[in-house]
Structure 1
Amino acid sequence: MRLFATGLLVTMAVAFLILHHLHTLFPAWATPLGYAIAFTEAAMVGGLADWFAVTALFRRPLGLPIPHTAIIPVNKDRIADSMARFLRDNFLTPQVVARRLKGFNLAASAGAFLSDPRRGDQSRMRAGAANLVADALESLDPEQLGGMVKTGLSRQLAKINAAPLLGQMLENAIADQRHLPVLEALLRKIGEVIEANEPMIREMIHARANAIMRWTGLDERLASGVLDGAYRLLAEIIVQPDHPLRGKVDEALTGLARDLRTDPEVQARVERIKAELLANPAVGAWIDAMWERWRAAMLTAMRDPQAAMAGSLGATLTQSVAQLGAALGENPRLQLMVNRFARRTLVGVSSRYGGEIVRLVSETVRRWDAKTVSDRIEGAVGRDLQFIRINGTLVGGLFGLAIHTVERLL
């Protein structure tokens, strides 16, 4: 476009010279040639004026130190601050974000996206996002990142008041009788442990029996009776829902849940145990191993999403995502909740981090050199600026022609 605009200006100049030469050679054609000369002359003036105006935005015309030229390079820092203020005032204020999101159904859009994962553009976007996450995971120092994850997780766990949470969970489990399978599994495990260690139990009873019991064989009968009684008791507790010991266990668990929620001493004891666990090197090593396994699995899934989604877990995940999308798209109450949460979150982000984003834009533009700023702005709007030069050449010629016509008529 720059070459075209310059070529048009040069064409007008060449035409002006040729027409002037023809005007000298053919005086009889003075009247029609006068109109053409007026057009080309005014076109040159208009084209040169707009060339100067456009060039003066980005550099000094012909390298001359003309005042008020090279406007963008000279005012680079002021432009950076103006861009930042424009971004802050028009996009990153909580009021603007809330107003923009008020009529936007984010949940329905997300539901439509999740419920139809076969669209090509979405697949490319997912693949691009997956590669971006994988590159970020690989580029960061694994040990340092793992340390950050472990530190962050430990801090969050340290902030949690675990005792009331455990008490509430235990109460809910008892109310819904979700503790019964755990109790029955524990009783079966106790039976298996007794059976596996039956020779040791018999030996302990033999060692503690006196000589008369051993001589009469009562020790063996006592050991068999103890073991049979233990097996029978465990079986009765498992098969009888109304067994008295089950009631005792429920009472004990209910009391424990109440103490976890209300007893300061029990809560303090739980907090001490939690602090000891978090400070234990074995727990730190477990968190490190868990993070590394998660990181390796994430890298594998991101680098080869098709293989990761090919198995049963992938099929289940795909089905779950589709069901979530359908729920988001069809449930108005769920949409209201999600939209309200998203709106509050984004408004909070704009309020909390809007200033940082604006400062990032301003500082980034300030760090650019003057030529970079000029080249990037000219590259973004340069085509339209060259149209200004073209229009200036043509419109200037038309005005010159109109003035010459009025002059002839008068």
Structure 2
Amino acid sequence: MNLPPPVMATAAPGPAPTPALRPDALSAEDARKAQALRKMKTVATLLLVFAAVVFLIAKINEDRGTWVGYVRAIAEAAMVGALADWFAVTALFRHPLRIPIPHTAIIPKRKDEIGRSLGNFVESNFLTADVIDERLRGARIGERAGTWLAQPANAARAGDAVSDVLRGALEVLDDREIQQGLEHLIESRVRATPVTPLLGKAIDLTVEGGHHQRLLDAVLVGVGGFLDDNRSTFRQRLDEESPWWVPEPIDNRVFNKIYTAVSSFLEDVANTPDHEVRDSVDTRVAALAERLRADPELHAKGEAFKDEMLDHPEVRRWIDSLWTEAKRGMISAADDPDSELRVRLVNSLQQLGARLADDPEMQHKIDRWVSDALAYLVENYRTEVSDIIASTVEKWDGESTAEKLELQVGRDLQFIRINGTIVGGLAGFVIHAIGQLL
């Protein structure tokens, strides 16, 4: 936790109070810890003062009885224990009484080593594949994720998140690089694909499905309509081409005869599935497909036509616009909650959640995938976490580091001073008693 350094006072053997920490520089939790630390320092210091007062009184009245010697010995040893433990606790964070005694102010002096050791400790004992796997084994991530996604509102929230990720990814991509890559991909694939064999295959598929006959039917209907629409034009053209000496009734009979014959032929072909014209079309179409696959001359012409098309300015502009239009469409769809993309995405996520919630095998796969992914990250990047801890501690100055740590553990360390006072007094009583016995 990167907190502003609290203003701490040097613990001293005397009863001087500890200056108040700045409450505006601490969070509510750290302010509570600072208050508890001040309270425990006061208690430990008052015990030392109490032992000193008792020692002075006992020393002055030592001649009044044997029991007074015991009190003096207890108070004297309690002061020694309190002072020794005060020195030990204070030496962790600063120089006692601001005197640069060797091997004191350990944390400020060795904060870099402490940071590296802490990082290595976390890396070795927490960031391991076994620890991650053990922690995730009972988490049931797959089942929980499926149950959560199965709810429509949650699926909509997940869809919003996926759309945000998609939009963000599209916006940060280098359009020029993507466009060049897309253009190269399309052009290389088209140039590498022979045109005429592809056309031959398309014709084969058309013949197999009978589509060419339907096309012929459409052509026959179109030709018949064309003849009907332009009958007067054809009749006028016959007048222009006929000799001047041929009577008009004869021209009319000739024209009607030809027109009727052509119309009848078209109608006959259209209404006869096995007409010889249709058979001829089948034969010629099959022959064309074979030529497209095997004729080198047609192959060369097809490749030349393909190259000409790819080099055409309009085609180049169309290829260049593919990524821009696709990106614009995807961003617009990602922003619109009612777009088909968003609706399909939310529905897919909800269906995935419902299936995942009821499929133990899929749940196991998800759990295993998450565990393997985290284990991979931990095994390959846990050193980064250790380096972050070490580098962060290195950026702190020594005094701030000591104050941060004292704020976190200082209250518990004050119990060492209290225990030292009590244990020292008991030790003084035992030692004095042994001396009296001897």
Bucket of the pairwise TM-score, normalised by the shorter protein: 0.5 to 0.7
Q: Quick one: structure 1 residues 76 and 325, their matched pair in 2 at CA, closer, same or farther if it must change by over 3 Å?
A: same
**Counterpart of 2:414 in structure 1: which amino acid?**
I
* Contact 1:115 1:323 survives alignment (8 Å): yes
Q: Quick one: structure 1 residues 287 and 52, their matched pair in 2 at CA, closer, same or farther if it must change by over 3 Å?
A: same
- Distance of 2:85 and 2:415 partners within structure 1: 9
- Distance of 1:316 and 1:105 partners within structure 2: 27
- Distance of 1:350 and 1:244 partners within structure 2: 72
In the other structure, the counterpart of 1:70 is 108
* Contact 1:72 1:79 survives alignment (8 Å): no
Q: Quick one: structure 1 residues 130 and 78, their matched pair in 2 at CA, closer, same or farther if it must change by over 3 Å?
A: same
| Pairing of 1:229-378 with structure 2 (within 5 A) | 280-298=316-334, 300-301=335-336, 308=337, 317-332=345-360, 334-335=362-363, 354=380, 358=383, 362=387, 366=391, 370-371=395-396
Q: Quick one: structure 1 residues 202 and 123, their matched pair in 2 at CA, closer, same or farther if it must change by over 3 Å?
A: closer
- Distance of 2:407 and 2:121 partners within structure 1: 21
- Distance of 1:87 and 1:21 partners within structure 2: 49
- Distance of 1:274 and 1:47 partners within structure 2: 90
Deviations 1:144-186 (A, max 9, x none): 533344455557768989979xx9xxx9xx99xxx979x69x9
Equivalent residue in structure 1 for 2:419, among 371, 390, 395: 395
- Distance of 1:187 and 1:60 partners within structure 2: 104
* Contact 2:82 2:418 survives alignment (8 Å): yes
Quote the offset at 1:328 in angstroms: 2.4
Say whether residues 1:111 and 2:146 are aligned partners. Answer: yes
Structure index of larger Rg: 2
Q: Quick one: structure 1 residues 369 and 151, their matched pair in 2 at CA, closer, same or farther if it must change by over 3 Å?
A: farther
Q: Quick one: structure 1 residues 14 and 87, their matched pair in 2 at CA, closer, same or farther if it must change by over 3 Å?
A: closer
- Distance of 1:390 and 1:316 partners within structure 2: 62
In the other structure, the counterpart of 2:175 is 146
Q: Quick one: structure 1 residues 132 and 17, their matched pair in 2 at CA, closer, same or farther if it must change by over 3 Å?
A: farther
Q: Which SS does the other structure have where 1:70 is aligned?
A: helix
**Counterpart of 1:50 in structure 2: which amino acid?**
V
Q: Quick one: structure 1 residues 382 and 90, their matched pair in 2 at CA, closer, same or farther if it must change by over 3 Å?
A: farther
Quote the offset at 1:291 in angstroms: 0.6
Quote the offset at 1:288 in angstroms: 1.0
Quote the offset at 1:123 in angstroms: 8.0
Q: Which SS does the other structure have where 2:49 is aligned?
A: helix
Deviations 1:22-75 (A, max 9, x none): 55457379555764664465234324312322x26xx99959495565255444
Q: Quick one: structure 1 residues 154 and 360, their matched pair in 2 at CA, closer, same or farther if it must change by over 3 Å?
A: farther
Quote the offset at 1:324 in angstroms: 1.8
Q: Which SS does the other structure have where 1:280 is aligned?
A: helix
Equivalent residue in structure 1 for 2:128, among 65, 72, 90: 90
Quote the offset at 1:199 in angstroms: 4.9
**Counterpart of 2:84 in structure 1: which amino acid?**
V
* Contact 1:106 1:339 survives alignment (8 Å): yes
Quote the offset at 1:390 in angstroms: 2.4
Say whether residues 1:17 and 2:49 are aligned partners. Answer: yes
Q: Quick one: structure 1 residues 382 and 8, their matched pair in 2 at CA, closer, same or farther if it must change by over 3 Å?
A: closer
Q: Quick one: structure 1 residues 361 and 192, their matched pair in 2 at CA, closer, same or farther if it must change by over 3 Å?
A: farther
* Stretch moving more, 340-349 or 386-395: 340-349
**Counterpart of 1:114 in structure 2: which amino acid?**
L
Q: Quick one: structure 1 residues 48 and 152, their matched pair in 2 at CA, closer, same or farther if it must change by over 3 Å?
A: farther
* Contact 2:48 2:421 survives alignment (8 Å): no
* Contact 2:141 2:367 survives alignment (8 Å): yes
What's the % identity of the aligned pairs?
12
In the other structure, the counterpart of 2:409 is 385
* Contact 1:9 1:43 survives alignment (8 Å): no
Quote the offset at 1:294 in angstroms: 1.0
Whichever structure has more helix as a proportion of its residues is 1
Deviations 1:64-101 (A, max 9, x none): 4955652554448855984796499724xxx9888987
- Distance of 1:152 and 1:374 partners within structure 2: 55
Q: Quick one: structure 1 residues 89 and 367, their matched pair in 2 at CA, closer, same or farther if it must change by over 3 Å?
A: closer
How many residues end up aligned between the 2 structures?
365
Q: Quick one: structure 1 residues 369 and 104, their matched pair in 2 at CA, closer, same or farther if it must change by over 3 Å?
A: closer
**Counterpart of 1:52 in structure 2: which amino acid?**
A
> 5+ residue gaps in structure 1?
238-242, 260-264, 302-307
- Distance of 1:343 and 1:157 partners within structure 2: 39
Q: Which SS does the other structure have where 2:45 is aligned?
A: helix
